Amino acid sequence: MRKIDFALTYVPSLDEIAEFLLDQDPVSAPDRMLALETEIEEFKPLVLDRPHLVKAYEPPSSRKKEIREKNQKQKELLDQLNFDSVRENVMEHHSLLYGVSETKITFIAVKHHRQAHYSLTVPEV
């Protein structure tokens, strides 16, 4: 039976979304963050039951060299994590990036649809 795990990049990605929501509208930010957390909680039993439920992740294509380079860097980082597959669950206003392995589902990062990329920054200890 698989379990849910969290990559070191997961919490910082949630922090970025919280900052974004606060900057956008401080009054509604807490409710919108709670809605995101609820969506993620509701997804957990689904992904444990059917880990390949959603599409495989493909970084967005771009004509801009800077974005292509960032996508390539992101792909290399994800390849180093050695998942059987990396999936993207597209929700109402956010997307969740997660890895699938034989023993666990690892939530890697979350992004708002207005963000171009997932933040895969590992916090410094």
Is residue 83 scored above 70 in pLDDT? yes
Chain mean pLDDT for the chain: 88
Q: Is residue 63 part of a domain?
A: yes
Q: At what angle do helices 10-24 and 29-49 cross, to 10 degrees?
A: 150
CATH number of the domain at 64, please. Answer: 3.30.2310.20
Spatial separation of the C-alpha atoms in residues 89 and 54, rounded to whole Å: 6
pLDDT in tens, 4-50: 999 988 999 999 999 999 999 999 999 999 999 999 999 999 999 99
pLDDT value of position 61:
74
pLDDT value of position 33:
94
Q: Is residue 120 part of a domain?
A: no
List all residues 6 or more positions away from 104 whose beta carbon is below 8 Å from its beta carbon.
Answer: 2, 3, 4, 5
Q: Is residue 117 part of a domain?
A: no
H-helix or E-strand spanning residue 32: helix 29-49
Spatial separation of the C-alpha atoms in residues 105 and 86, rounded to whole Å: 10
**Domain extent at residue 29:** 3-112
Q: Is residue 58 part of a domain?
A: yes
User: How many structural domains comprise the chain?
Assistant: 1
**SS3 assignment, position 85:** strand
Q: Is residue 53 part of a domain?
A: yes
pLDDT value of position 36:
95
Strands 3-6, 104-112: pairing is: parallel
Q: Is residue 23 part of a domain?
A: yes
Residue 13 structure tokens:
């990605």
Q: Is residue 125 part of a domain?
A: no
Is residue 125 scored above 60 in pLDDT? no
Q: Is residue 123 part of a domain?
A: no
pLDDT value of position 48:
94
Q: How far is CA 124 from each of CA 10, 12, 32, 108, rounded to the nearest angstrom?
A: 14, 11, 28, 17
pLDDT value of position 76:
80
Is residue 96 scored above 70 in pLDDT? yes
Spatial separation of the C-alpha atoms in residues 55 and 121, rounded to whole Å: 23
Is residue 70 scored above 90 in pLDDT? no
Percent residues over pLDDT 90 in the chain: 55
